[in-house]
Amino acid sequence: MTADEIAFFDKIAPRWDSMEIKSLPPKVRLILTLCGVEPGMRVLDLGTGTGVLLPYLSEMVGPDGHVTGVDISRGMLAECERKNSHLGNVSLECKDFETEPIDGKFDLVLLYCVYPHLHYPIATLRRLFDESLAPEGRIIIAFPNDEVFVNNIHADKHAPHEPLPSATSLAARLAAAGFPTRVVAESEELYIVEIEK
Ligand SMILES: C[S@@+](CC[C@H](N)C(=O)[O-])C[C@H]1O[C@@H](n2cnc3c(N)ncnc32)[C@H](O)[C@@H]1O
């Protein structure tokens, strides 16, 4: 991420959770269930932000699993740490996951509300696929809404690099790039695309 992009998230961090209208508990649980989160899994939550997924992931993977949250914004991570430091099976790392290596292998790599912020989406997914996935691991690109909602948010604010395509279009693009891809859910309220090792 650029310094300007990091500064944007640092500044908005204290207000982030109060602006959240889509990642409500039943929706988050449904998405994580559709993503196949199970006890004992090692999950990597890239762009964890203030950690909206972490309490749910922590509970769902249980004491035998582990969740690693990664974000480059210290402001977002400070909020995340404040809310989630009591979760014993969660650890946080401050790094740019597009340019810095990530230690370990994961059963599930989540990009939740993060994909439009990637500078090098295909190269980043390739590296995650090759280096961070355990055998039979999966990468999930998910949103609690459709691409129209995402693109409206970005229209007058912090612009992403290009509009988010529909889940079907993104899956086709990723398949053309050589990833075994499928659409798990696609509606006004759900957007889940999966890459499987
Ligand atoms: C739109 S927010 C979503 C946060 C969280 N997943 C949620 O749904 O509330 C995007 C987050 O991804 C982080 N991010 C984007 N690109 C990143 C990168 N290359 N490395 C680390 N963090 C990144 C930003 O700092 C920000 O916290």
Q: 84 in ligand 1 pocket by Cβ < 6 Å?
A: no
DSSP 10-71: HHHHHHHHHH--S--HHHHHHHHHHTT--TT-EEEEET-TTTTTHHHHHHHH-TT-EEEEEE
Residue 81 neighbours by CB under 8 Å, 6+ apart: 92
* C-alpha distances out from residue 36 to 7, 18, 115, 135, Å: 34, 28, 19, 15
Please give the average per-residue pLDDT across 55-82, as a whole number: 98
Indicate the pTM of the whole model. 0.96
Q: Where are the domains of the chain?
A: 3-196
Q: For residue range 139-158, what is the model confidence (pLDDT) as tens digits?
A: 999 999 999 999 998 886 65
How sure is the predictor about 23, in pLDDT bands with cuts at 50, 70 and 90? confident
How sure is the predictor about 159, in pLDDT bands with cuts at 50, 70 and 90? low
Q: 145 in ligand 1 pocket by Cβ < 6 Å?
A: no
Tell me the percentage of the chain whose pLDDT exceeds 90.
Answer: 89
Nearest ligand 1 atom to the CA of 52 is 9
Q: 56 in ligand 1 pocket by Cβ < 6 Å?
A: no
Is the CB of residue 70 less than 8 Å from the CB of residue 95? yes
Please give the average per-residue pLDDT across 22-50, as a whole number: 96
Best probe residue, ligand 1, of 10, 44, 71, 92 (max atoms within 8 Å of C-beta): 71
CATH of the domain spanning 3-196: 3.40.50.150
